[in-house]
Amino acid sequence: LQLTRELEENNRAVKVLYAELDEKAEHLRRSDQAKSRFLSNMSHEFRTPLSSIRALAKLLLSRSDGELSDEQEKQVRYILQGTVALNEMVDDLLDLAKIEAGKVDVRAERFLVADMFSTLRGLLRPLLGSSAVALTFHEPHAGLALLSDQGKLSQILRNFISNAIKYTEQGEIAVRAALVPGKGMMRISVTDTGLGIAAADHAFIFEEFSQVEHRLQTRVKGTGLGLPLCRKLADLLGGSVGMDSVPGAGSVFWVSVPLNYAAQGGDAPAPPHS
Ligand code: ADP
């Protein structure tokens, strides 16, 4: 009898504990939703004033006709550069919030890796400016195609490559696509000969916001949102991201995606990351 009573009491205690856990989980879910809503609203609110500042700074530059001193013109250019950087940050925030809210669809289509590479080459070469760093694209074979969301995959690669450009002072940035044997996956890697990243930071680099605190390179300013976004985008594509790096020697960032998005994820799109 004593035992039964103890068991009943234990049962009651366990039930109370479960109810408390449920309540806490619900609370966490709500805070998470509130955070996503806040990020999304805030990003929207930032956009309008930012576009005005940008448009006005451009107008000032185009109309100045020698009215601005060299120093003033330089300052207006700084304003313009600042708005471009802020715009990128707001776009990343908005994309992250959308993915978290499950509001992003995967649009799988068949495309040639070579075509994606040539578009990326055209977009990113200008970022090198007068730098002596070489940006090369290597393709496995001409007809290699993927069934995936080209826009999202390109967004990941744009992030990897523009980071490589930011943090590489000399040498080469090489983009390579290779089949992962027996896995039905393709891995696209971006290797640079840049500053590299300390081993202690590798575990944080794809984490939202935390990277900013772990950043080693204070020379180049960034938001620390690009790589977390890459990870979420790769999740959506049914793939993954990874990196390796040796400080002072360089880094490699890669993304692996299924060759055939539908075959990997079934008929349903990959679940949104929450
Ligand atoms: P951001 O570049 O806007 O700061 P990211 O999330 O893209 O944000 O990158 C986070 C940080 O990771 C960067 O600030 C930088 O410290 C480090 N990083 C990313 N890519 C590289 C790279 N190729 N070489 C060296 N450091 C890198």
Q: What is the pLDDT of residues 171-200, one digit of tens each?
A: 999 999 999 988 899 999 999 999 999 898
Average pLDDT for residues 251-263, to the nearest whole number? 91
194 lines ligand 1 (CB under 6 A): yes
In the block, residue with structure tokens 């509130």: 34
DSSP letter, residue 260:
B
Residue 71 has pLDDT above 80, yes or no: yes
d(CA 202, CA 193): 17
Nearest protein Cα to ligand 1, atom 23:
164
Question: Is residue 64 very low, low, confident or very high in pLDDT (cuts 50, 70, 90)?
Answer: low
Quick one: what percent of the chain has pLDDT higher than 70? 90
Residue 161 has pLDDT above 90, yes or no: yes
Judge whether 153 and 255 are in contact, CB under 8 Å: yes
Judge whether 205 and 168 are in contact, CB under 8 Å: no
- The lowest-confidence range among 137-146, 212-221, 233-242, 249-258 is 212-221
Q: What is the pLDDT of residue 84?
A: 83
Nearest protein Cα to ligand 1, atom 25:
196
User: Could you give the residue ranges of the DSSP H alpha helices within the chain?
Assistant: 2-63, 70-100, 113-124, 150-166, 199-202, 210-214, 226-236, 261-265
Neighbours of 45 (CB within 10 A): 11
164 lines ligand 1 (CB under 6 A): yes
Instruction: Output the CA 134–ligand 1 centroid distance in Å.
Output: 19
Residues near 252 by beta carbon (within 8 Å), at least 6 away in sequence: 189, 190, 191, 192, 243, 244, 245
- Highest-scoring range by mean pLDDT, 4-18, 65-79, 200-214: 4-18
- Average pLDDT over the chain, rounded to whole? 86
Residue 271 has pLDDT above 50, yes or no: no
Average pLDDT for residues 149-177, to the nearest whole number? 95
227 lines ligand 1 (CB under 6 A): yes
Residue 80 has pLDDT above 80, yes or no: yes
Q: What is the pLDDT of residue 15?
A: 95
Residue 252 has pLDDT above 70, yes or no: yes
Q: What is the pLDDT of residue 35?
A: 79
Residue 95 has pLDDT above 90, yes or no: no
Judge whether 209 and 188 are in contact, CB under 8 Å: no
Residue 266 has pLDDT above 50, yes or no: no
CA Rg, the chain, in Å? 24
Question: Is residue 118 very low, low, confident or very high in pLDDT (cuts 50, 70, 90)?
Answer: very high
What is the model's pTM? 0.77
158 or 274: which carries more pLDDT confidence? Answer: 158
